[in-house]
Structure 1
């Protein structure tokens, strides 16, 4: 059997408008907007341009915040594999958030609301949190959506203390450069360099995109199409997407297209307890990944019937942790632990299918163990099903 993707066509042409992932509720506690004097200064297009940085808005909250405690390296969250040892390239590192554009909260847990997060993400820029000294969980009543004209950088830094919860009912974060509802900013939405979304020092828990089939579905915690995306020192816990379907996936993260084929970076991050038809943690079509010093544990691909779906089945069940499909793309695992994940069909750890056999995969200084594939996997590569240019390159790693 040769799994192929029925969804590669998603990456060509413009997308139809999406119905959306939850309307924004009225704001009862707005994010704090820094004054222009406090905000980082940089030359750029006017506010009407495609990569404009939104100006300060009076309605974002009255409290003026100085540099916030929620900066790189602060807080209590420690994710990923600290002993991984993979070097982190400059573009994959955390963003300096010591001078935020806007702050969610005014020093108390009660002030850190779903409405404030939704409004801050829509406004864009560097976003931090001031929710008091203790860890806090913000239960999202609506999906936070990136507005494509607001940026070009959108950074969500939880300072190591913030969990955004989908409460088992909704996707948490959404970026789609081809969604007319979020604004088209170029004539080539499927290949533009903005917005550049970073999530760091933060936890995403109990996201659930079940039933949302726009753009093929998936992305229980985060859905991304276009621009650039990276996750640094982040945790993803018990996220969900649809249980069946031949090609949808990504209980934690689903990505379709990145600017000029640049990789999605996943750095020092942990994925546990995710479940979806495919890709119990990550899923993509035609997208490259560079996964560094991270951990995938206890994620499951629970669909049945593989891709294309066997007669009489709904399809799915591949990529217990990672599901990748498309043509030319790469996957790199370095300094990463992938253990105790499971697929009902192929690739208990990683499912990789390059339809035109140009894709490549490398595993460096990593450990893949106890990742059963109930249906099929590539001989000699436990936990991996691979179709690409050549067999995966494995160095200084353990596969068992």
Structure 2
């Protein structure tokens, strides 16, 4: 992806005049609207097509008006997010009521909670809980759990605050892609459909790794997403932790050691609520990465993540590219980012945006930072003057409300 003009860098007062930055002349995912008679299959291998009618999106008709979160067992509460964050969480961003699950993984013992059981449950869809006994348990994933696009519209994975899904440093943990023919096409416009609606809550994702060769599909759509990869539908993350996840070390535009998202229904945001991201490492986006996707990050903590690529985007001659967005990397056209009640600290980018890298190619994107602290997020080579830890190209400078950037 290429920056359409470097002149804007000078206007924004970027520290170095020779900075390459990420941008694109391609349409953002989620824009295409092919005819009903022909599925949008750009870049896909032809396969069987499952046709389903449109379904209600998150917060749409039929959704619960007041979702009821599932509480972890006493004394076993998952420590996630910023405990001092006080941003208001809208109804559609809250945890899903899982008191009446569709299916349960496990029969009351740790041994009954297996990788195969997780893979089977995620493929079947619905509201999924765990019964692995009273103590915390780590499930070592021997394969990536993949969402089947016809099995929903809601897919909820709730660990009850006691479950860790581990990629063992070898594979991606969770995968959803509405445009992957292997998971079934369910509409004629896979880039912009409201289902499946994937929610992960009260879970820990550790040791996810999408660096290639270790799991089927980890190079889909260009790679990235060490723990979770999503294209299409909707994604929500509530009260969850992401620890020591990885994706490719180099590459000008791939990223998301924890989460990579490409397109969401009608450009509705990915909600990340009361969650923690730490120890992530990738070419770009040591925690979160996206193209053409809006984010709302509430009452969360992003700490000690790294963008370790080099050469930025487009890649400088003789380099593999990457190295931007120590914690968050966002590229595309029209999208927004809102960060509220959140701490972003001690992240690092080899190139630009030690905390956040944000490039809106058509300069329509906006970013708001409210009641949040961004501190000690070094940018190795460039950032926007007056916004420590941030590289920003958009409609206007980021809006700061009671925000501390140091």
What TM-score, normalized to structure 1? 0.86
What is the aligned partner in structure 2 of residue 87 from structure 1? 88
Which stretches in structure 1 are left out of the alignment for 5+ residues?
Answer: 20-46, 53-69
Deviations 1:153-211 (A, max 9, x none): 00000000000000000000000000000000000000000000000000000000002
**d(CA) in 2 for partners of 1:173 and 1:233?**
17
Work out whether residues 200 and 232 of structure 1, in 8 Å CA contact, stay in contact via their aligned partners in 2: yes
Is 1:140 aligned with 2:141? Answer: yes
**d(CA) in 2 for partners of 1:198 and 1:290?**
15
What is the aligned partner in structure 1 of residue 208 from structure 2? 207
Deviations 1:228-282 (A, max 9, x none): 0000000000000000000000000000000000000000000000000000000
Work out whether residues 346 and 384 of structure 1, in 8 Å CA contact, stay in contact via their aligned partners in 2: yes
Work out whether residues 6 and 247 of structure 1, in 8 Å CA contact, stay in contact via their aligned partners in 2: no
Q: CA deviation at 1:48?
A: 7.6
Is 1:360 aligned with 2:338? Answer: no
SS at match of 1:311: coil
Q: CA deviation at 1:73?
A: 1.8
Work out whether residues 51 and 152 of structure 1, in 8 Å CA contact, stay in contact via their aligned partners in 2: no
What is the aligned partner in structure 2 of residue 72 from structure 1? 70
Is 1:185 aligned with 2:186? Answer: yes
Work out whether residues 319 and 349 of structure 1, in 8 Å CA contact, stay in contact via their aligned partners in 2: yes
Q: CA deviation at 1:9?
A: 5.0
Alignment length (residue pairs): 357
What is the aligned partner in structure 2 of residue 97 from structure 1? 98
Q: Which of residues 382, 385, 395 is equivalent to 2:388? A: 382
Work out whether residues 275 and 299 of structure 1, in 8 Å CA contact, stay in contact via their aligned partners in 2: yes
Q: Which of residues 33, 41, 46 is equivalent to 1:14? A: 41
Pairs within 5 Å for 1:1-400? 1-5=19-23, 8=26, 11=29, 12=32, 13-17=40-44, 49-50=52-53, 72-75=70-73, 76-211=77-212, 212-400=218-406
Work out whether residues 85 and 293 of structure 1, in 8 Å CA contact, stay in contact via their aligned partners in 2: yes
Work out whether residues 209 and 226 of structure 2, in 8 Å CA contact, stay in contact via their aligned partners in 1: yes
Moved more, 70-79 or 258-267: 70-79
Q: CA deviation at 1:214?
A: 1.8
Q: CA deviation at 1:336?
A: 0.2
Q: CA deviation at 1:78?
A: 2.1
Q: Which has the higher contact order (CA 8 A, sep 6+)?
A: 2
Work out whether residues 343 and 374 of structure 2, in 8 Å CA contact, stay in contact via their aligned partners in 1: yes
**d(CA) in 2 for partners of 1:50 and 1:106?**
35
Work out whether residues 17 and 181 of structure 1, in 8 Å CA contact, stay in contact via their aligned partners in 2: no
SS at match of 2:119: helix
Q: CA deviation at 1:4?
A: 3.1
Deviations 1:355-394 (A, max 9, x none): 1100000000000000000010000000000000000000
Q: CA deviation at 1:140?
A: 0.3
**d(CA) in 2 for partners of 1:48 and 1:99?**
28
Work out whether residues 294 and 336 of structure 1, in 8 Å CA contact, stay in contact via their aligned partners in 2: yes
What is the aligned partner in structure 2 of residue 61 from structure 1? none
Work out whether residues 71 and 157 of structure 1, in 8 Å CA contact, stay in contact via their aligned partners in 2: no
What TM-score, normalized to structure 2? 0.85
